[in-house]
Amino acid sequence: MSLEKAEALVIRQADFSETSRVITLFSKEFGKSSALAKGAKRLKGPFDAGIDLLSRCRVVFIRKSSGSLDLLTEARLVSRFAPSGTNINSLYGGYYVADLLNGLTEEYDPAPEIYDLATDTLTKLMATDQHSLTSVVEFELGILRLSGLLGSLTECTVCGSPVTQSGQPLSKKFAPWISQGGLLCADCRRPEFSGRSISAGSVAALRQLSSDDSQLSGRLRLTKQQIVECHHFAVSTITSILGRRPSTLRYLDGI
């Protein structure tokens, strides 16, 4: 048992009893963890707005030995995730970010870069001048890359056919080959590989969107079609890793 302090996002809440909740946190210091928040359901509870879904907060908790829940003792709000009232797509984008943080990370596996990516994404989603789906796709590809789950995006894994030649995308379609962490070109595809095909141009867009060079991704001018294809590619990969489609994905249809 030890007393820990961290900066965290609240990524899930579940009722535990008449008055208490179990809160899943994703913190910069510890990664994902779950803690019992006693009294959290009372109107004037001890945590105030600090543990609303997607709130960013400074927390203090007692870390228990493996197998039992941590105990949250303090949560101070740093910033609230509050897109403007008319911006429902950004709200849904935020729920999806929380869902992926919960599904794609392990307990007590610190990933400060993923934490920074998530807080940056939530900030972008709150800014109404940003296109919601672009921010969502950057997050999908970023969390896959930082988790080592994004395969090579330069060539067909089987025949070596490149995605680009002299910097120009080839007029070929490619599909994700998730079990091998790579791409398959249209010539090498077999019926059992179910992922949707995307154009070489969109693979090049994927490479740029998943780049850790934020200046590069900031300069991109992608078409809506390319962004949608990148989203489908990321969803195929995420669905394969989770063994199911993320449940909050259905809300993103309107973006």
Binding stretches for Zn ion (CB under 5 A): 156, 158-159, 161, 185, 188
Nearer to Zn ion by Cβ, of 161 and 202: the residue is 161
Please state the closest distance from residue 184 (CB atom) to Zn ion, in A. 6
Nearer to Zn ion by Cβ, of 100 and 163: the residue is 163
Please state the closest distance from residue 155 (CB atom) to Zn ion, in A. 8
- What are the structure tokens assigned to 167, written together? 């910097």
Nearer to Zn ion by Cβ, of 49 and 159: the residue is 159
Please state the closest distance from residue 200 (CB atom) to Zn ion, in A. 12
φ/ψ bin of 61: left (φ > 0), alpha (ψ from -120 to 50), beta (otherwise)? beta
The residues, any chain, with a CB within 8 Å of residue 188's CB and separated by 6 or more, are 156, 157, 158, 159, 161
Please state the closest distance from residue 190 (CB atom) to Zn ion, in A. 11
Please state the closest distance from residue 186 (CB atom) to Zn ion, in A. 8
Nearer to Zn ion by Cβ, of 69 and 158: the residue is 158
Please state the closest distance from residue 189 (CB atom) to Zn ion, in A. 8
Nearer to Zn ion by Cβ, of 23 and 156: the residue is 156
Please state the closest distance from residue 154 (CB atom) to Zn ion, in A. 12
Nearer to Zn ion by Cβ, of 37 and 178: the residue is 178
Nearer to Zn ion by Cβ, of 72 and 156: the residue is 156
Return the HEC string of the chain.
CEEEEEEEEEEEEEECCCCCEEEEEEECCCEEEEEEECCCCCCCCCCHHHHCCCCEEEEEEEECCCCCCEEEEEEEEEECCCCCCCCHHHHHHHHHHHHHHHHHCCECCCCHHHHHHHHHHHHHHHCCCCCHHHHHHHHHHHHHHHCCCCCCCCEECCCCCECEECCEECCCEEEEEHHHCEEEECCCCCCCCCCCCEEHHHHHHHHHHCCCCHHHHHHCCCCHHHHHHHHHHHHHHHHHHHCCCCHHHHHHHHC
